[in-house]
Structure 1
Amino acid sequence: MADVSPASLAKQLLAILHRDGDRLKRIDDYDNGRHDDPYMPPQADDEYRLLARRAVSNWMPLLVNTPAQALYVDGFRRGTIGEAGIPIGGEGSRSIEWAHWQRSRLDARQSAVYRGALKFGHSFVLTEKTSRGVKSKGLSALKTAALFEDPANDDTPYAALTVISWPKGEELGKARMWDTRSEYEVTFKSLWDEDGVRVGKGKRHGASECPVTRFAAVIDLEGRTVGVIEPMIALQNRINQTVFDLLVAQTYGSFKVRYVTGMAPPIERDPETGEPVLDEAGQPKPLPLNHNARRFLFAEDSDVKFGSLDETPLGGFIDSIDMSIRHLAAVSQTPPHHLLGQIANLSAEALLAAETALARKIAEFKAAFGESWERVFRLAAELEGDTSAAEDFAGEVIWRDMESRSLAQAADALGKLKEQLNIPERGLWRRVPGVTQTELDDWEQMREEDDGQLQLATALIRATPEPEPALEAIAA
């Protein structure tokens, strides 16, 4: 039987951080522009190394930011229970789940969770009770590890650990660890020193399962997660190498070289004696030629020949860079115009076709991250004491529609949906571009107030007696 004691779990989790540390650090370096140097000859001088540093063209943040900027949770819709479809608890911003979201300031902080998952392949969110209520916060994969019985299919870890501070000299590193019932304080000398791991006494965290939720961008049946950067490192290195070769050719061979044969250069002479001035080797010291575009070269000797060497063409290097970027766009499912900036003379249909692959990838991320957020909301409800909402597996997050279209186009489409398909108008409110959950709640309240005023006006009209006919009318 496997050892599931807190000390054993802590050692396993620290070992995972040690095992994955180098790989994740390399991914982080590439995201921040710290790339491998391009190939250079062994005797390369400082000028070559300067060109190598300038050759880094970091495309990695764009691969992360492009899908991350299309991911934005705008609300949460609770599920229903019973055959009659009775809603569980409050809806919209009145639910305790969304109140926890606002308290955690996840409107702004959710982007960091997505970027971490897209960069490293996974990130984590911790949901816990604080002095100001239940809150959730993101945890980096560089400092956090989790254990699953079935890492490919389980969304609930049976233990997780995050590093609070790394060891420095004689100072021990500190970490927090959670299992299905308790939270522990962990100290350690290093990630690979099992004998230096110490686990403090546990305290109940209040949830019925580990309160750490994994956000995996892409996960296979082996439980391995992969982000958008690691598969692109080889292509990024190819682009850097080509840019470096371009800079070398541009620096040393992009201009014509003029030459002259059969003519000795002018030498420096003593102004008093007229004798040549000798250098340290005993040879006449040549004078520099003051030559530019406004001066001519001439010689008295007919055997002197002038000529020039052609510059190195740079078009091939530029075409190679363009090709590599297109390969990067195809493999990463990023529209080429996002990378190349070539958007002129593209029709709406062409733009839609170019965005199709990216849209499919974003839809995949929404499905994966949406399930993780739903677990976070269930944990928040459980910690708030709402047992029915904690068992609500039919709830779903509402993603903001980030498609670019005008309000007039959206209004026309929504009007046709209402008229032609007889969809209730309240069901179409969420499809208005840019609408937030708070605005939806305000609209709902305004509609209820308007309905109440209309009912009151109708009741008053019905209660008012009909006026009696005038005497003149009766006499007539």
Structure 2
Amino acid sequence: MQATLASARQLLNILDRDLPRLQRIDAYVQGRHDGPYMPPQADDEYRLLAKRAISNWMPLLVGTPAQALYVDSFRRGSTATTQPADQPLPEWRHWQNSRLDARQTSIHRGALAYGHAFTLTEKTARGVRTKGLSPLRTAALYEDPANDDTPYVALTVTRKPADDLPGLARMWDGSTEYRVAFVSYRDADKVTVAQVGRHGATECPVTRFAAAVDLEGRTVGVVEPMIPLQNRINQSVFDLLVAQTYGSFKVRWATGMAPPLLMEPVHAAENDPTSEVVDWRPKLGPDGRPIPAPININAKRFLFAEDPEVKFGTLDETPLAGFIASIDMSIRHLSAVSQTPPHHLLGQIANLSAEALLAAETALSRKIEEFRRMFGEAWERVFRLAAELDGNTSSAQDLAGEVIWRDMELKSLAQSADGLGKLAESLGIPKRGLWSRVPGVTRTELDEWERLREEDDAELQLAQALNRATPDPASLPVAA
């Protein structure tokens, strides 16, 4: 138990160490960015412009690859037991029972944003289920964090410490689940561990989904490297708003002309405001000086003066083209570094040929393929864990199984049908093997097609048998 307690303390320390960095990433995803630079004596108007200058590009950087990461099916390896065609695969049945058609998106987005996310596969009252775990609350330990898929211990916080209530966490090793109570992440002396029971698997049931892992075992997502560029864009937008607010209009000036003054009446009886008005005089301010009258100047009014010595003129507005070009350049840098096509960020898609669009999407396609390789291995481990907990030994040992990702390439059904037909005709690929390549087809539809094909084959075989059993009328003897 001492080793288990030490692991719990280490995992809580990891959460405490990584939390500031992950919270900063979370703030940028939610649009709570570091403010642009402004003078220390900035007024409320400046601060309002700084708040409006925040242009949050981070959700787009996360959502663009995430929208191309949808698991559509699962293919067993050659070592797994063959499943009858009219029955769904147990692996896919587990997927549907866990509602992962929708919940996979949260797991993928978490891994892309923070660098890693986790899933937990466990037995519940409704069978074996898999659910996502937040990277801000979950940590795992590996013997070799760069190469191991299976952690030897993992912990997720279910309740943070607050007021007089201690924090609670669940922890798993290779065979057992534990309940962890703690006062704070850093107070190692007040961490307690209690055994809950065996979780039913032969390895830790927590699986890591990492967007990228280096040889030191460090994970990095798509948000953290882009924070400096995001700050640069915010600063450029802030400078544009300041110039637009204070200097984007012409300034009219006049010299040699005294402003009109506010006038007040002079009554016949000085202390009687109801008496007759006998004269007018300039109204004085608290300092004893005459108060200038406000001048209503707008685009509909002209300024004139009776004195020929008065001169009028204008000061040119501040050009905004340079600020706009700076913002455009920063967004293009963001596009290049993040491997996001420029037209996804700038919205400029006019006059682009199909070849140009394909070339622009190439870098994004490569990045998405990299994510599919990383996440695909994690999902395959989830399927093996679920099979083991469900008592399916053959699938639990199937290291050759693979997930099938949805084809998100925009192609018409006619183009796909023509290409698949040529593959079947020229290369001799079985038609049944090409069903999964039909755009938009799901695992449920494939199972339905298989069932309908078997029904059609059965009807065809019955018709052929009846034809063979029915004699040809021409061969029957003719009655005398």
Q: Does 1:376 align with 2:382?
A: yes
User: Which segment drifts farther, 310-319 or 87-96?
Assistant: 87-96
Q: Say which of 198, 207, 215 aligns to 1:204.
A: 198
Shift in CA distance, 70/4, structure 1 to aligned 2, threshold 3 Å: farther
Where do 1:370-409 residues align within 5 Å? 370-409=376-415
User: Which segment drifts farther, 68-77 or 4-13?
Assistant: 4-13
Distance 2:241 2:175 in 1: 59
- Does the 8 Å contact 1:75/1:92 carry over to 2? no
> What CA deviation, in whole Å up to 9, does each residue of 1:99-135 have, x standing for no partner?
1111100000000000000000000000000000000
- Structure 1: state its 5+ residue gaps: none
Q: Secondary structure at the match of 2:245?
A: helix
Q: Say which of 262, 271, 278 aligns to 1:268.
A: 262
Distance 1:349 1:95 in 2: 40
What's the % identity of the aligned pairs? 70
Aligned residue number for residue 359 of structure 2 = 353
Where do 1:164-203 residues align within 5 Å? 164-203=158-197
Aligned residue number for residue 54 of structure 2 = 56
- Does the 8 Å contact 2:176/2:195 carry over to 1? no
Aligned residue number for residue 279 of structure 1 = 285
Q: How many residues align?
A: 468
Q: Secondary structure at the match of 2:136?
A: coil
Distance 1:447 1:90 in 2: 13
> What CA deviation, in whole Å up to 9, does each residue of 1:412-471 have, x standing for no partner?
111111111111111110110100001001111111111111111111111112225588
Question: Aligned-pair RMSD on alpha carbons?
Answer: 1.6
TM-score (norm 1): 0.96
Distance 1:91 1:63 in 2: 40
Aligned residue number for residue 293 of structure 1 = 299
Aligned residue number for residue 311 of structure 2 = 305
Aligned residue number for residue 14 of structure 1 = 12
Aligned residue number for residue 71 of structure 1 = 69
Q: Does 1:433 align with 2:439?
A: yes
TM-score (norm 2): 0.95
Aligned residue number for residue 269 of structure 2 = none
* Offset, 1:169: 1.1
* Offset, 1:80: 1.2
* Offset, 1:391: 0.7
Distance 2:289 2:359 in 1: 72
Q: Which amino acid aligns with 2:77?
A: G
Distance 2:207 2:71 in 1: 16
Where do 1:66-465 residues align within 5 Å? 66-81=64-79, 87-89=81-83, 94-272=88-266, 273-465=279-471
* Offset, 1:294: 2.8
Distance 1:370 1:223 in 2: 18
Q: Which amino acid aligns with 1:75?
A: S
Moved over 6 A (4+): none
* Offset, 1:53: 0.4
- Does the 8 Å contact 2:81/2:394 carry over to 1? no
Q: Which amino acid aligns with 2:288?
A: G
- Does the 8 Å contact 1:78/1:91 carry over to 2? no
> What CA deviation, in whole Å up to 9, does each residue of 1:346-386 have, x standing for no partner?
11111110000000000000000000000000000000011
* Offset, 1:202: 3.5
Q: Secondary structure at the match of 1:409?
A: helix
